[in-house]
Structure 1
Amino acid sequence: MEVFAVDGLPEVRPGEDLAALIEANVDLQDGDVLCVASTIVSKAEDRGADLATFEPGEQARVIAERIGEIADESKDPRFAQAVIEESQEILLAAPFILAVTRFGHITVNAGIDRSNVPDSDLLLLPENPTESARRLHDALGVPVVVTDTSGRPFRQGQRGVALGWSGLPACRDWRGEHDRDGRELTATVEAVADELAATANLVTGEGSSGRPVAVVRDFDFGEHDGHDALFRDPESDLVRQALADYEYSND
C-alpha cells in the first residue's frame, strides 16, 4: 500500500465541480481510495458563513460568557450561536463547546473552521458528508472518504478522522474470527475509515500546505465482515452519558 497527496488543486470556490478538479490532477486506478478534506467539500458546497448572520440567543450568550470567564478573555456569542445551529446536541459547554453534529460526529465547536477561509468568517462542515462522498464516488468510480482533523481524548495532538464515506465499509469487523491461538475474537472492530483518514493526513499536512486530497493506493479491505456503524449510539456510549451527567451537575 502507498499513499500520496494530489498536487495542483486550485483554491476551491462555491459551486465548483470538485470531482472534475480532482480528476484533472490525478489518474485514479482500481484499488485506490480517495481521501478528501472536508474543507474543500464545504467550499464547493458553499458552506461559508459570516458571524454577522448569527443572532445569539440566551444559550449562546451564557456559553460565551462562561468560556470567557474561564479563558479570561472575551468570547463572541455569535460564534457560540453558529455552533448551536450546526449541532443536534451540546455535550459540553465549558471550558470548550463539545457538540454532536447533525450527522452524528462529535467534535469541538461542531467542526466549524476559522482558518484557510478566504471569503468568509467561518467554514461549516458539509451538511451530509456521506452524501458528499457518495457523489464523488459515483463521479470518480473509487471509494471516497471525506476527512477532517480532530483532537483525541486522553492524548495530545490531532489526527485525521472520517466524517463520511462511500464505496467501502467504515469498519472492518473481526468478531467471530480467531487469533493465532484459536481464541474467538468477540469485541474487535477496526475503524478502517478513520485509519485511512489518518494515513491521508500524514501526507496532506496542516496549515498552509494546500494539499487537501490524498490517494491511498492498493488498500485491501480483506475477507472480513464490514459495517458502517462508526458513530456510537448514545445508548451504548458511556463517555457521552458521563459528559451529560457532568453538565447536569454543573448547571
Structure 2
Amino acid sequence: MEVFAVDGLPEIRPGDDLAALIDANAAIGDDDVVCVASTVVSKAEGRQADLAAFPAGDRARDIAERIAAETDEQKDPRFAQAVLEESEELVLEAPFLLAVTRFGHTTVNAGIDRSNVPDADLLLLPADPTASAERLRAGLDADPAVVVTDTSGRPFRHGQRGVALGWAGIPASRDWRGEHDRDGRELGVTVQSVVDELAGAANLVTGEGAGGTPVAVVRDFAFGEHAGSDELFRDPETDFVRQALREWDY
C-alpha cells in the first residue's frame, strides 16, 4: 500500500471546486482512496463564521463562567454558544466542552477550529461529512473512495490522530465476526474501523501546522473478502462511556 500527499493545492475559498483542484494536482485512479481534511471541505462549503454570529445565551454564559472558574482559561461565551448550536448533545461542559455533533461524532468543542481560518473567527465542521464525501467522489474524474478526515484526541492517550468523519465508495468497517483466527477460533466481536485507519495513515503524510497538506491518496489498499458495515459512531444505547458521563455529577 502506498500513501502520498497531494501537493500544489491553493488556499481553499468558499465556493471552490475542491474535486477539480484535486484532479488538477494528482492522477487519481478508480481503486484509490482519497482522504481529504475536513478543514478544506468546510472552507469550500462556506462553513466559516464569526463569533458575532453566535450571541451568547444564558447556558453559554454559564458554561464559559464555569470553565473559567475551573481552569483559569477564559472561554468566550459566544464560542460556547457556537458549540451548543453545532451539537446534538453536550456530554461534558467542564473543564472542557465534549460534544456530540449532529452527524454523530463525539469530539471536543464540536470540532470547531480557530486555526487556519484566514477570513473568519471560526471554522465549523462540514454539516454532513458523508454527503460531502459523496459530492467530492462524484466530482472527481475517476471513481475512487473518498474519506473526509479530521484530527481528534483519544481517551486515555496523549496526542491526536486522524479519524474519519464521512466516507463514500467504501464501507466504514470490515466485519471479521464469523471468521476464524490462526488457531481456528471463531471471532465474535472484531469489527475493524477501516476508514479511521485510512484517515490515520493519511495524517502521517499530510502533517500538521503551517507545513501541512490537506489531501492524501491511499493506493493499492485492498478491503478483502469481508462483510462491510457503515456503522462508525456508537449509538447512545450501546455507548456506555457516554451513559456514564451523563450520570456523572461533575
TM-score between both structures, scaled by the size of structure 1: 0.98
In structure 1, what is the Cα distance between the partners aligned to 2:144 and 2:211? 25
Q: Does 1:138 align with 2:133?
A: no
Match of 1:97 in 2: 97
In structure 2, what is the Cα distance between the partners aligned to 1:211 and 1:72? 34
In structure 2, what is the Cα distance between the partners aligned to 1:197 and 1:216? 9
Shift of 1:74: 2.2
Q: Does 1:241 align with 2:246?
A: no
Match of 1:21 in 2: 21
Query: Which of 163, 166, 169 is 1:167 aligned to?
Result: 169
Runs of 5+ unmatched residues, structure 2: none
Identity percentage over the alignment? Answer: 73
Q: Could you say what the CA RMSD is over the residues aligned between the two structures, in angstroms?
A: 0.7
Query: Which of 154, 157, 164 is 2:156 aligned to?
Result: 154
Match of 1:73 in 2: 73
Match of 1:10 in 2: 10
TM-score between both structures, scaled by the size of structure 2: 0.98
Match of 1:214 in 2: 216
In structure 2, what is the Cα distance between the partners aligned to 1:73 and 1:6? 37
- Structure 1 letter corresponding to 2:70: I
In structure 1, what is the Cα distance between the partners aligned to 2:77 and 2:29? 47
The 3-state SS of whatever aligns with 2:147 is strand
- Structure 2 letter corresponding to 1:35: C
Shift of 1:29: 1.4
Per-residue CA deviation, residues 89-121 of structure 1 (Å, 9 max, x unaligned), is 000000000000000000000000000000000
Q: How many residues align?
A: 248
- Structure 2 letter corresponding to 1:72: D
- Structure 2 letter corresponding to 1:240: R
In structure 1, what is the Cα distance between the partners aligned to 2:131 and 2:178? 31
- Structure 1 letter corresponding to 2:37: A
In structure 2, what is the Cα distance between the partners aligned to 1:175 and 1:74? 48
In structure 1, what is the Cα distance between the partners aligned to 2:65 and 2:205? 39
Per-residue CA deviation, residues 13-50 of structure 1 (Å, 9 max, x unaligned), is 00011100100000011321000000000000000000
Per-residue CA deviation, residues 134-193 of structure 1 (Å, 9 max, x unaligned), is 011122211000000000100000000000000000001000000111110000000000
Match of 1:113 in 2: 113
Q: Does 1:226 align with 2:228?
A: yes
Runs of 5+ unmatched residues, structure 1: none
In structure 2, what is the Cα distance between the partners aligned to 1:232 and 1:53? 31
Shift of 1:210: 3.6
In structure 2, what is the Cα distance between the partners aligned to 1:228 and 1:7? 30
Deviates more, 1:70-79 or 1:44-53: 70-79
Q: Does 1:58 align with 2:35?
A: no
Deviates more, 1:67-76 or 1:178-187: 67-76
In structure 2, what is the Cα distance between the partners aligned to 1:174 and 1:82? 40
Per-residue CA deviation, residues 197-220 of structure 1 (Å, 9 max, x unaligned), is 000000000111141000000000
In structure 1, what is the Cα distance between the partners aligned to 2:78 and 2:139? 37
